[in-house]
Amino acid sequence: MPYPEQMVAPMRAELTSAGVQELRTTAEVESFFAQNTGTALVLVNSVCGCAAGSARPALKSAIGEDTSPDRVATVFAGQDLEATARARELFGYVPPSSPSMALIKDGELVHFVPRHMIEGRDALSIAQDLTAAFAEYC
């Protein structure tokens, strides 16, 4: 069951204030994925405190580097259910986990950061992994 919107609003704002595009409907997700050239990063956001609490600042840090994806978006697992389900379909055959991050290049998933690569880690370590992936694919 989704949490009250006022409770998750700061978790959305943490990303949107950094310029991350939030995709709240299936139409918005499909529109985002329709552009299948260049690189895009999609964060599956979560209310989960320590995992998403590290993932969000990690993403913000990593996309501030010189080499980063052309576009960055987010869906909110457990909150925007249909949008998240559609995004996961478009990632390809990847088990659902949240938070998680998908790096897409020319319409293909090239790098995925599942929850288990986020849980128990600090934002800096996660950001370093993202930066390495950006260096390889972006």
Partner 1 sequence: MGTFHDTADPLHGITVVAEAGNTVYVGRCHARENGTILLLDVDQHTDGDDGKTNQEYLERAARFGVWKKHEKLTLNADDVTGLSPLSNHFRRPGQKTAPAVETVTAAAPAPVVKELATLETGGVEAPVQLTEAAADEVRRLLVAESREGQGLRLAVSGGGCSGLVYKVEFDAQKEGDIVVACEGFDVLMDRKSTIYLRGVTLDHQQGLSGRGFQFNNPNASNTCGCGESFSV
Torsion angles phi and psi, residue 113, rounded to 5 = -110, 100
Entry field: residues in the chain: 138
Residue 24 and residue 83: Cα distance in Å, rounded?
6
| Active-site annotation holder among 23, 42, 44, 48 | 48
Place of tokens 């849980």: 119
Q: Does residue 48 carry a catalytic annotation?
A: yes
Q: How far is the CB of 86 from partner 1 (least distance, A)?
A: 18
DSSP H or E segment with residue 88: helix 81-91
Least Å distance, CB 52 to partner 1, is 8
Of 42, 69, 55, residue with least CA distance to 11: 55
Using the minimum distance from each CB to partner 1, give the nearer residue, 28 or 84.
Answer: 84
Q: 35 or 122, CB closer to partner 1? A: 122
The per-type count for the chain, helices as H runs and strands as E runs, is 5, 5
- Least distance in angstroms from the C-beta of 138 to partner 1: 12
Residues that bind partner 1 (CB under 8 A): 3, 7, 47-53, 94-97, 100, 111-112, 114-117, 119-122, 129, 132-133, 136
Shortest distance, CB of residue 48 to partner 1, whole angstroms? 4
Please say which residue, 21 or 61, places its beta carbon nearer to partner 1: 61
Catalytic annotation, pick one of 50, 94, 124, 135: 50
Let me know the angle formed at the C-alpha of 48 by 42 and 52, rounded to the nearest 5 degrees: 40
Question: For residues 52 and 73, which CB has a smaller minimum distance to partner 1 in the complex?
Answer: 52
CB count in 10 Å sphere of residue 40: 22
Active-site residue list: 48, 50
